[in-house]
Structure 1
Amino acid sequence: MLPRHTRRAQVPSTRPAEYSPKLSPKNDRLRRRRRRQTLAGSHSASFDVVVAGGGAAGVAAAIGAARAGARVALLEKTGNLGGAAVSASVLTYCGFFSRRHELVVAGVGARFLDVLAEDHLYLTHTSPETGNKVVLLDLETTKRALDRLVLESGVEALLHVDVVSADTRDGEVQAITYAHAGSTYSIRANSFVDATGDGSLGAASGALMDEAPPHERQASTMVMRIGGVVEDAQLTGDAVEAAVRGYRSSTGGDMPRTRGPLVRLPLSREIMALLVDLDGDMLDPAQHTRAEQLGRLQALHYWRALRDGIPGWQDSFLVETGPTLGIRETRRMVGRERVTKEDVASGRRRPDVVVARGGWPMESHVGVGRTAYGGIRDDAWFDIPIGATQSATYANLWAAGRLICSDSDAYASTRVMGTAFATGHAAGVAAAWQALKGEVDVAGIQATLRDQDALL
């Protein structure tokens, strides 16, 4: 059984000089009122920490902050927690394990795995082509498990809300405005975490963001789920490639990728296929829309190719695409420190400032139909420093998941959802420490993370 996470830390303050920004003084009466308020029926509320984005990173940030003693609000734009795992059917968590299959992410992430284990659904899969080990997910179980963890932690979550603007003064984010069904609401906090994937909070606040030119960003994928495939049907890359090439030759179908991973999912026994690659600027709504429409058409071609070209697929059917596009890259936050390709490749260890581990290789979808890998020394892990999670613009704005500060090569490793649990947990604990104590104490944050069973 994986470790439980129920303790709270009582740690001394030993704040290093390089992480000394303090928040402006807060009114004690406001703090007391913040403890009593709820989000229900309120157009204006205050919390210690507000987390925007309810994927792996945002859930971990919110729970980590709550366990550190903060009162936390979690805002999510869709109707489910889980981010790309549930909204785009990316039903594998990459990054929990190193290439040598050592667990490198624990804490809140491991508590999620505990919940899967309780339902007898903690299952892993090792790619026969890359050797990478992932956690397999069932869609509905993932939704319920994340709901349960958030509710148990005392976090106040709001679904179906979009961050639309931010109030900033004196080098801090003071409040954000979010929208739901044509109405707007304001929420104040001492610290904020952007775990939106696209950097919606950072962009709304005017924080420095790093945006690669669209043609240099990683390709996106429209995930397909396929049912009716017999249990012993081939799922190998060679079988896929032969089927796709044969279909493309006979029909002229638009199918840039000739091979990609096929994984059988728990419970449903459906096949998750990552074959439909698309490029474009996913921060442009017109390009984003066209990509999703094209992705659904390409998915039809790929399913037909597999159905007609691989034994055991003849009675298969396309269950669903997406429903949304799995976006790999849009923005990253400019932080106080950047994770680099050399940090990842060398497995750099930084004990004085580490707040999370990264163990996934550099997996870069360098263009439509093309993937390049770069390893980590000894197939181990690298340390992610606290400065990569803290905005260079606002002292009280933190980044989590694929938003942490990195160069484009390191990003190919740090972006995955298993690692997002670790960086989210770190950002949430750092935000809570800052909100409650008015400082960023690296040693204290590390002690709190360890007390919550994170691996550093």
Structure 2
Amino acid sequence: MTNGEHFDVVVVGGGAAGVAAAVGARRAGASVRLVERYPFLGGAATNSSVLTFCGFFDQHREQVVAGVGDEVLQRLQRRDVYREMSFAWTGNHFVLLDLETTKIVYDELVTAEGVDVRLHSTLSDAVRDGQGRVTEVEVHGRGGKERLTAQAFVDASGDGALLAAAGAGVRVAPVDERQTSTLVCRFGGVAEDADLGREGMRDAVAAHARETGVPLARDQGITVRLPVTGHVLSLLVDEQLDALDAAAFTRDEMSARRQAWRYLEAFRKHLAGWEHAYLVETGPQIGIRESRHLRGRDELTREDVLRARKRPEESIGRCGWPIEDHVAPGVTRYQPIDDKGWYDIPYGAITSADTDNLWAAGRLTAADRDAFASVRVMGAAFATGHAAGVAAAQYAAGRPHDLAAVRAELLRQGALV
């Protein structure tokens, strides 16, 4: 094991929240190490092919997330791959992504800001002192183990890897109460005029079940044609899995891949324009919606979301995505925000209740079940990550939990708070 370096801020996880945290902290003057276990940045967008940025807009198409997240959108626009889309049946408005463009945009962003990035690096342990602070983390990389010390830490790992290692307070729902996970499938060979509609899919899945005796849990879902490649992205394959149990996770990911081939068979036989379709890729990892949650100083609630609650003195970001609760395989429950608008995310929802120098962002944001089904999306992850990074940088500079200063710095960096 090598004795590593010291940083003002260490960020664990390189998805939307982690990249925003690292860039936000750097722009606030901190030295930053960003630790990512995959060989690329992007989180679920790249490691699970969830090639949709949800949550940048409310249902009036008003942009509610800016700052670092908006810079990512601008970089996509400069590469001429930016495309917005809406679904009439939900009213949701989102941004479609290209896989390889997304990877390089993240690379360029963190490099331009001077973030010290380590890919292929997995958090393995953390040390907590007697004053309730994290003092160092252990990271296992390509060359072995390394210890890193820092003044402040941000967990943007999605599964709360740092929260758990540091012994910080978390909430974990029973497996059957967690939102389902979805294995994203990309299909090629789908004709330009192919049926991508909900009714056609329902008919194809029903015909496949009659023919084979094998039912499929979801008979329709998000299916869109991607920019650049023209591949068809489908979010159909659902599993009720435990992302924190390696044996169960392995079993269920294998089950999900079997489902993907059954959908391909059903569509090739029973859906117009799919006769020559083939499976380009699944995942690679199943898209995990829920595992651990931060126990924060505050918590978003169902009423906060549905009533579009505004907190002008406490807000560090906004979210305009409705409650989208994947209750069970094949079952999704939507509930709109009042007037199809947006609500404020309070600082306390990203701040650990029991670990003074630790923040958590993205789908770790402290929220009850219904509020989580809204705030978990990537647009909101950019907002919460950006705020967590700025707060961590200010903590390292000797200004702990100065909310007015955090909000002022976020505004200086172009965020919406």
> Which runs of structure 2 are paired with 1:336-347 in the superposition (5 Å)?
336-347=297-308
Match among 146, 157, 165 for residue 196 of structure 1: 157
Q: Describe the SS at the equivalent of 1:338.
A: coil
In structure 1, distance between residues paired with 2:95 and 2:20: 17
RMSD over equivalenced CA pairs, Å: 1.1
Matched, 1:77 2:10: no
For 2:289, the aligned partner's letter is R
Matched, 1:142 2:110: no
In structure 1, distance between residues paired with 2:297 and 2:201: 44
Matched, 1:432 2:409: no
Verify the 8 A CA contact 1:257 1:368 in the aligned structure 2.
Answer: yes
Verify the 8 A CA contact 2:159 2:364 in the aligned structure 1.
Answer: yes
1:213-269, Cα deviation, whole Å (9 max, x unpaired): 011000000110000111111111111111111111101234111111101000000
What corresponds to 2:64 in structure 1? 104
Q: Give 5+ residue unaligned stretches, structure 2.
A: none
What corresponds to 2:343 in structure 1? 382
Matched, 1:305 2:272: no
Matched, 1:185 2:146: yes
> Which runs of structure 2 are paired with 1:145-294 in the superposition (5 Å)?
145-169=105-129, 170-181=131-142, 183-294=144-255
- CA drift of 1:125 comes to 1.1
> Which runs of structure 2 are paired with 1:282-431 in the superposition (5 Å)?
282-431=243-392
Verify the 8 A CA contact 1:396 1:434 in the aligned structure 2.
Answer: yes
In structure 1, distance between residues paired with 2:267 and 2:157: 35
Verify the 8 A CA contact 2:186 2:233 in the aligned structure 1.
Answer: yes
1:398-431, Cα deviation, whole Å (9 max, x unpaired): 0110001111110000101111001100111111
Matched, 1:44 2:4: yes
- CA drift of 1:437 comes to 2.2
- CA drift of 1:438 comes to 3.7
Q: Describe the SS at the equivalent of 1:348.
A: coil
In structure 2, distance between residues paired with 1:121 and 1:183: 38
In structure 1, distance between residues paired with 2:261 and 2:109: 37
For 1:86, the aligned partner's letter is T
Q: Give 5+ residue unaligned stretches, structure 1.
A: 1-40
In structure 1, distance between residues paired with 2:312 and 2:88: 34
TM-score normalized by structure 2? 0.98
What corresponds to 1:128 in structure 2? 88
> Which runs of structure 2 are paired with 1:63-74 in the superposition (5 Å)?
63-74=23-34
In structure 2, distance between residues paired with 1:247 and 1:383: 45
- CA drift of 1:384 comes to 0.5
For 1:163, the aligned partner's letter is L
Change over 3 Å in CA distance of 1:150–1:42 after alignment to 2: farther
Verify the 8 A CA contact 2:2 2:145 in the aligned structure 1.
Answer: no
In structure 2, distance between residues paired with 1:166 and 1:438: 23
- CA drift of 1:86 comes to 0.5
Q: Describe the SS at the equivalent of 2:8.
A: strand
Matched, 1:91 2:51: yes
- CA drift of 1:304 comes to 1.2
> Which runs of structure 2 are paired with 1:50-65 in the superposition (5 Å)?
50-65=10-25
In structure 2, distance between residues paired with 1:198 and 1:254: 31
- CA drift of 1:85 comes to 0.5
Verify the 8 A CA contact 1:356 1:422 in the aligned structure 2.
Answer: yes
Aligned length: 416
In structure 1, distance between residues paired with 2:91 and 2:279: 28
For 1:103, the aligned partner's letter is Q
- CA drift of 1:181 comes to 4.1
Between the aligned residues of both structures, percent identity stands at 50
In structure 2, distance between residues paired with 1:101 and 1:426: 23
Verify the 8 A CA contact 1:223 1:322 in the aligned structure 2.
Answer: yes
Q: Describe the SS at the equivalent of 1:303.
A: helix
In structure 1, distance between residues paired with 2:399 and 2:225: 48
Deviates more, 1:174-183 or 1:367-376: 174-183
Q: Describe the SS at the equivalent of 1:259.
A: coil
- CA drift of 1:42 comes to 6.1
For 1:77, the aligned partner's letter is R
Q: Describe the SS at the equivalent of 1:224.
A: strand
Verify the 8 A CA contact 1:254 1:298 in the aligned structure 2.
Answer: no
- CA drift of 1:210 comes to 0.4
1:148-196, Cα deviation, whole Å (9 max, x unpaired): 0000011000011111111111110001101124721100110100000
In structure 2, distance between residues paired with 1:281 and 1:115: 35
In structure 2, distance between residues paired with 1:265 and 1:95: 18
In structure 1, distance between residues paired with 2:89 and 2:341: 19
